[in-house]
Structure 1
Amino acid sequence: MQRFYNQELADNFMLQICVSDIEEAFNICSSSEHKTRIAPIEQEVWGKVFYLWGPASELLHITEFSS
């Protein structure tokens, strides 16, 4: 897998990660030495989310659901 790269797959790959404290997750991601694109936290009807694009263009949805 280390030598495998498919641009179309990377451009269409999404992964949702659920966290219990989105502000802490956002601060950790924002202060990373790895420069990635990150969107601000947004409030949705179901909870909060921010988006992070990895180095291969993969999209991560970091989510905290409302209680």
Structure 2
Amino acid sequence: MRVFLGMILGALLLVAGVYTYDSMQTSTVANGEVAQANRTIVNWDVAATDLHALKVRAHDDWVRLSSK
């Protein structure tokens, strides 16, 4: 059980670290071609859309399973 808790905690720390790092970087959209070296690691808009789709699918599956 400790291993799984450690894996989950590690994943959460990784995502928090990447988000913090990315939030401090300069956006290429804001500053044009000069900022190419400082591009963000993750496209957070796409990640948010995928997370929302995952939540909706999980909710729909839960409703389907609990109605039986």
Same fold (TM over 0.5): no
- The structure that is helix-richer by fraction is 2
TM-score (normalizing by structure 1)? 0.25
- The structure that is strand-richer by fraction is 1
Q: Which structure has the greater CA radius of gyration?
A: 2
Q: Which has the higher contact order (CA 8 A, sep 6+)?
A: 1
